[in-house]
Amino acid sequence: MEAIETKVDKKDPQYLENYGRMEAMVARLNEELRIAREVRSEKALARLAEQKKLPVRKRLELLLDKNTPVLEIAPLAAYDMYDKGVHGAGSVVVIGVIHGREVLVTASDPTIKGGTIYPMGVKKALRCQTIAMENRLPLISLIDSGGAYLPLQSEVFPDLDDGGRIFYNQAIISKMGIPQITAVMGLCTAGAAYIPAMSDEVVHVKGTGAIFLGGPPLVRAATGEVVTADELGGADLHCRDSGVSDYWAEDDTHALQIIRDIVQGLPDPCKSKLTTRSPRPPLYDPRELYGIVPRSLSTLYDIREVIARIVDGSEFLEFKALYGPTLVCGWAYIHGYPVGILGNYGVLFSNSALKATQFIEICDKRGIPLIFLQNITGYIIGREYERGGITKDGHKMVNAVATATVPKFTVIAGASFGAGNYGMCGRGYSPRFLWMWPNAQIGVMGGEQAANVLISVKNDQLAREGQPPLAEEMVKAIKEPIVAMAEKEGNAYYSTANLWDDGILDPAKTRDALGLAISASLNGPIHSGPQGHGLFRM
Ligand code: COA
């Protein structure tokens, strides 16, 4: 395979300006991640120490193998929501390694409102279960939670995708034969009591861990019985009398050791095999991506320059290079794994959509994972293109993306607008993982375009009524709030807060995140179901 020859001039003032801008964005990202990891109230930290509990990140450190890679999921979920302190939506979720085996760990953070579950916490828990199911990863839960965050109970309880779905999924995961192991490391009250109850094996920490459907205050109010938390649902009661828990642990460290022992005894995952090569770094420094990404989403840049900085040896075998050039497709290796890459280099035309359809079909037939590098404002519009059937060609691409059974991974490296988001495997198309770069924007369309559509609709209405079009100041009054809203609700932080993605990535870390995610995906079968696609409209 030939290496991509870069055309980037690292002395170009535009490159240097882009570099400085992205460097500042990455610095902000790292600071937000630090705050989410570290900043907790004095009161919560003191309470943790008083109870002799380990902080959530220390628990993870002791659970996972030393010096092994960790892929954290949605560390900035619920960013800027609620009272602004519900970091990571109140839990830490990672894919990590125990005794050489990849597992998915979800850990409640008791220093955030007693580990209670906010609406975004439910969404994160469901996302975590989807990852476990799609990738057949053993699910380890470290529970230390006061259950539902009561002031928002209507948002966490009743609907299809609310709290009850977590326990429904646990039953399905169990039926699928995916191991579920839970450590009770604090109170597991009400809803949170069902997490251990629905697991295969439960490790229970003496003194601090307790499981009950109603806590001591509720029991007293309802029945008049006065009991302590330990008497009502502690390790002794559940390990000796009720049989709810299976392993009695002296403290947090002991519980984590027991989980490690359980994982060591699990049957071999027999990971799916790909035809791999020895991994090699790209020829070009991935940090050069900072200088490549332009300030404006409407400035085109060659996605091959991105591919050259994420694939092994920068080598890329381009498919149909001369046909449908606004979509770059081709084969490469990432950390030794073979991949088929689709990356945008302009709007999608009929020929680029047909090329994508053929390429996706080939990858699906051959069992090669797909990587989508999104920088897409949409499919081409206009009379000529409608006449040429852009809608039916776009449909074929969307159909192929939806029905492809190989693992799919999406990185939003710039714009992600309209049906372009669908064709390039947005969240609705079930990529195994999806990340945003800090500069990325997502929405039906850009704010300016959305405002112009609404203004034009209004002017058409006025014309029908025989009135003059909107005056300049009215146009401004309609436009400004729409543009401001689109900018706020389309940016990477808003997306990640709402769990529309699995996290914001430093562009320079894209290659490593993809490598870890591909490796995790191989715990499941290469094909997630029967191959084939729906009817293609010809
Ligand atoms: N909803 C909303 N807030 C809750 C809460 C809940 N279910 N449970 C606890 N909190 C808040 C507390 O008000 C406190 O907030 P503050 O820091 O602003 O003062 C914070 O979480 C920590 O609670 P605290 O009781 O001081 O800490 P703790 O470590 O001693 O105990 C719990 C934590 C969760 C075990 C304990 O608060 C508890 O038992 N909560 C009630 C659990 C319950 O009955 N849940 C039923 C919901 S289905």
Interval 289-318: pLDDT, tens: 999 999 998 899 999 999 999 999 999 999
Q: Give the other-Cβ count within 10 Å of 240's Cβ.
A: 10
| pLDDT the model gives residue 383 | 97
pTM of the model: 0.95
| pLDDT the model gives residue 448 | 85
Provide the percentage of residues in the chain whose pLDDT is more than 90: 92
- Per the DSSP assignment, residues forming a β-bridge with 330 are 318, 341
Residue of 42, 113, 152 with the most ligand 1 atoms within 8 Å of its CB, for mutation: 113
| pLDDT the model gives residue 289 | 98
User: Does residue 449 have a pLDDT over 90?
Assistant: no
Give the span between the Cα atoms of 407 and 518, in whole angstroms: 8
CB 189 less than 6 A from any atom of ligand 1: yes
Is residue 18 a contact partner of residue 294, using CB atoms and an 8 Å limit?
yes
Q: Kindly report the CA angle at 304 between 301 and 306, in degrees rounded to 5?
A: 80
Q: Residue 490 has which token pair?
A: 């389309």
Interval 374-409: pLDDT, tens: 999 999 999 999 999 999 999 999 999 999 999 999
Is residue 427 a contact partner of residue 479, using CB atoms and an 8 Å limit?
no
Residue of 150, 166, 194, 213 with the most ligand 1 atoms within 8 Å of its CB, for mutation: 150
What's the CA-to-centroid distance between 193 and ligand 1, angstroms? Answer: 15
Provide the percentage of residues in the chain whose pLDDT is more than 70: 100
User: Does residue 432 have a pLDDT over 90?
Assistant: yes
Q: Where are the beta strands (DSSP E) in 153-283?
A: 180-189, 201-205, 210-212, 247-249
pLDDT interval class at 170 (50, 70, 90): very high
